[in-house]
Structure 1
Amino acid sequence: MKAKGFIGDFKALNFLMLLAAGIINAIGVNLFLAPVHLYDSGISGTSMLLCRLLPAVPMSVFLIILNVPLFIYGTKMQGMHFTVYSIFAVFVYSAASYIITYLCGFDLSAGSPIAGSDLLLCAIFGGLISGVGSGLTIRFGGAIDGIEVMAVIFAKRLGLTVGNFVMIYNAVLYIAAGAILKDFILPLYSIITYCAAIKTVDFIVEGFDKAKSAMIITSKKDEISEDLSETFGHGITHIQSHGYYKGKEQTIIYFVVNRFQIAKLKAIVAKHDEKAFVTITDVSDIMGSSLKSDK
C-alpha cells in the first residue's frame, strides 16, 4: 500500500515501522539514559546535554529544533523521501519522549524505573534499545539523528570518512559534557552506550547473517564454478582479467556467501586449484537474488 502526494509515492509500511522506531528510541533514551544523566550520541546526545543546561526546556523541543533544519538542508543530497521519513521519525521520537517523561507517570528522579541507578546496565540497555530504533529508521528509509546528514555533507570536505566524522562529533560532545558539568564519569559510561548502539544498528540494518563477497582468481574456473553452484545453489559471475606480472589471461569468479559458508568455499577452491588467489570482503547490502533460475 502506498500513499501518494505532491512529493511522490511513500510506503505506508515505512511510516508504520518508523512510528515503531521512534517509540523504541524514546524508550531507550528516556527510560534508561536520561534518568541517570547518560548521553546518547549525535544530535540526540546534544539535546540531552542542552536539556541539562536548560532544564525548563523539554528535550523533545531540542530534538526538533536541532534535527529538522539539518534534514531539510540535506534534502538535495539525500532526496525528498529520506527527508520526509526522517522528519516523521524525529517527530515521533520527540513526541514519545515528551509522553514518557511528563505524561506516563514514571518516577525518573531516582534513576531508571527499570535498571535503577546502575550506570552500566543503563548504558548497555539504553544503547541496545535506542540502537534498535535507529537501525529500524535506517532500514526503512530515514534517519533519526541529523548528525548522519551532517556527516554525509561535510565529511568529504574535511577529508574524513562518514564514520570518522560521527565518531569525532561524539568525542567532542562527551568531552564538552564532562568539561561543562565537571564530571567525566557519565560521559565515559556514555561511550559504552554509543558502542552498544552502533553494534545494534549494524545488526538491525545488515542482519546477523551478514553477506561476504568472494573474488577468486583461478585457471580452473569451470571446475570451481560447477562445484560452488552445486554446493550452494547460487548463480556465479565470471569476470575476464589479465594478469600483469605473467601476462596470462585469467578468470575472476565473483560469488556471494554468508559468514558460515566461507570455510566450505575455501575448501572447494583449494580442492580444485591450490594456487588460486581468493579475497573475501564484507557486503553491506544486497539487492536482487543470485539464486539459480529453474527456467
Structure 2
Amino acid sequence: MKKHIIDFILINVGLILVGIGICFFKVPNNFATGGVSGLAIIASSFFKGIDVGPMMLIINIVLIIVGFIFQGLDFGSKTMYSSFALSGIVWAIQKIYPLEHSLTDDMMLELIFSIVFPAMGSAIVFNLNASTGGTDIVAKILSKRTNLNIGKTLLLTDFLIAAGAGAVFGIKIGMYSILGLSLKAFVIDLVMESFNVSKQFVIISTKSEDIKKYIVTQLNRGATIYKAEGAFSHKTEEVISTVLSRRQAIKLRTYIRSIDSSAFITITNTSETIGKGFRSI
C-alpha cells in the first residue's frame, strides 16, 4: 500500500511538471512537439472557445475509445489515469494562471523549457511503468498493424503533429516544433538514466574483511567475492564486487579511504540495476 501511495504521488508530480511545460511554454508559443498536447494546441486554434486542457480531455477520450476498439482491454490503469489527470492539470493551470502571450521574447529559451519540464515529468511517469497516454495509443495500433516497432510509429505520429504545427502556425513554429521533438526523446532518456544510475565497485584491499562487513552491516547490501591473481606480483588477492546507490557509494568510498589509503578501487556507472534491493524485472 505504501508503494502504491508513493507511486501515485510521484506520477502526479510528473504530470504537474508536464502540465507546467505545456501551459507556460508550449501553448503560448504554439509549440506542438508531438503528443496529445501538440494535437490539442493545433485543434484549439480551430475551436477558439475550447482551451488546450479540455481539448486534451476530448482527444484522450476519443483515443482511448479507439484503443479499446482496436486493442481490447490492453491498457494499464496508470496510463488511463495519467491521460485524464494531465488534461485536468493543464485545464486547472490555465484557469489559475492564464497566459495571453509568452513569458519572454526569446523563442529558443522558451523551447528549451518547453522540452525540459515535460521531459522530466514524462521520465518520472515512464519510470513508474506508466505513460501520459495519448499518441502512445495510436503508436501501439500502428505498430500492431504494420512492420514498424512502437518507437518508430510513435516518432512518426509525433512528427506528423509537429509538421501540422508548421502548416497551421507557419514554417517558423513548425521548425521549432520539429527541433523540440528531436530533443525531447534525448532529454527523457537522459533524465531516466539519471534516476536509475547505480555505482558498481570493484575493490582490492588488504582490509577486505572490514570492507565486506561494512557493506553488509552498515549499507545493507550484498557483495560478490572472488579470487584474482596479479599479473605483475602473481599474488592471489581477494576482489570485492558490489553495486550501490550514489549515496551509499560516497559512504563506502569515504570508509575505504579511512582504513586503507592504498586500496585499489574502480567505480563505474550502471544505467540500470535489476534485482533485490533495486528495480524488479
> TM-score scaled by structure 1?
0.64
Match of 1:14 among 3, 7, 12: 7
Q: 1:290 to 1:58 in 2, by over 3 A?
A: closer
Distance 2:240 2:277 in 1: 14
Matching of residue 232 in structure 1 with residue 241 in structure 2: yes
Distance 1:200 1:52 in 2: 28
- 1:64 is matched with 57
3-state DSSP class of the match of 2:268?
Answer: helix
Matching of residue 109 in structure 1 with residue 100 in structure 2: yes
- 1:90 is matched with 83
Q: 1:209 to 1:15 in 2, by over 3 A?
A: closer
Q: Shift of the alpha carbon at 1:32?
A: 1.1
- 2:112 is matched with 124
3-state DSSP class of the match of 1:117?
Answer: coil
Amino acid at match of 2:24: L
Q: How does 1:239-250 map to 2 (within 5 A)?
A: none
Distance 1:286 1:162 in 2: 24
Match of 2:35 among 18, 37, 42: 42
For the 8 Å contact 1:21–1:89, the answer to whether it is kept is no
Match of 2:173 among 178, 186, 193: 186
Distance 1:93 1:141 in 2: 16
Distance 1:148 1:226 in 2: 49
Match of 1:261 among 262, 268, 279: 268
Q: Shift of the alpha carbon at 1:100?
A: 2.0
Distance 2:277 2:127 in 1: 21
Distance 2:139 2:94 in 1: 30
For the 8 Å contact 2:80–2:133, the answer to whether it is kept is no
Amino acid at match of 1:172: L
For the 8 Å contact 1:44–1:145, the answer to whether it is kept is no
- 1:244 is matched with none
Q: Shift of the alpha carbon at 1:186?
A: 0.6
How big is the alpha-carbon RMSD for the aligned residues of Structure 1 and Structure 2? 3.3
Q: How does 1:136-155 map to 2 (within 5 A)?
A: 136-155=124-143
Q: Shift of the alpha carbon at 1:157?
A: 2.2
Q: 1:103 to 1:190 in 2, by over 3 A?
A: same
Amino acid at match of 1:55: K
Any idea what the Cα deviations from partners look like across 1:54-87, whole Å, max 9, x if unmatched?
Answer: 12111112212222443463575644xx2x2123
- 2:184 is matched with 197
Distance 1:134 1:177 in 2: 22
Distance 2:118 2:91 in 1: 16
In structure 2, the gaps of 5 or more residues are 199-225, 229-237, 244-266
Q: Shift of the alpha carbon at 1:261?
A: 3.4
Q: 1:13 to 1:78 in 2, by over 3 A?
A: farther
Distance 2:137 2:227 in 1: 45
Q: Shift of the alpha carbon at 1:200?
A: 2.6
Q: Shift of the alpha carbon at 1:35?
A: 0.9
Q: Shift of the alpha carbon at 1:286?
A: 4.2
Any idea what the Cα deviations from partners look like across 1:135-175, whole Å, max 9, x if unmatched?
Answer: 11111232113212322332142111211111111221122
Matching of residue 159 in structure 1 with residue 159 in structure 2: no
Any idea what the Cα deviations from partners look like across 1:81-116, whole Å, max 9, x if unmatched?
Answer: x2x212322333222212222222x4x22312xxx1
Match of 2:122 among 109, 131, 134: 134
Distance 2:268 2:126 in 1: 27
Any idea what the Cα deviations from partners look like across 1:223-257, whole Å, max 9, x if unmatched?
Answer: xx755x925337xxxxxxxxxxxxxxxxxxxxxxx
Which segment drifts farther, 43-52 or 153-162?
A: 153-162
Q: Shift of the alpha carbon at 1:124?
A: 0.9
**Which protein has the bigger helix share?**
2
Q: Identical aligned pairs, as a percentage?
A: 19
- 1:217 is matched with none
For the 8 Å contact 1:67–1:146, the answer to whether it is kept is yes
Any idea what the Cα deviations from partners look like across 1:11-49, whole Å, max 9, x if unmatched?
Answer: 122211121111111101111111122113222211111
- 1:27 is matched with 20
Q: How does 1:253-292 map to 2 (within 5 A)?
A: 261=268, 286-289=273-276
3-state DSSP class of the match of 2:239?
Answer: helix
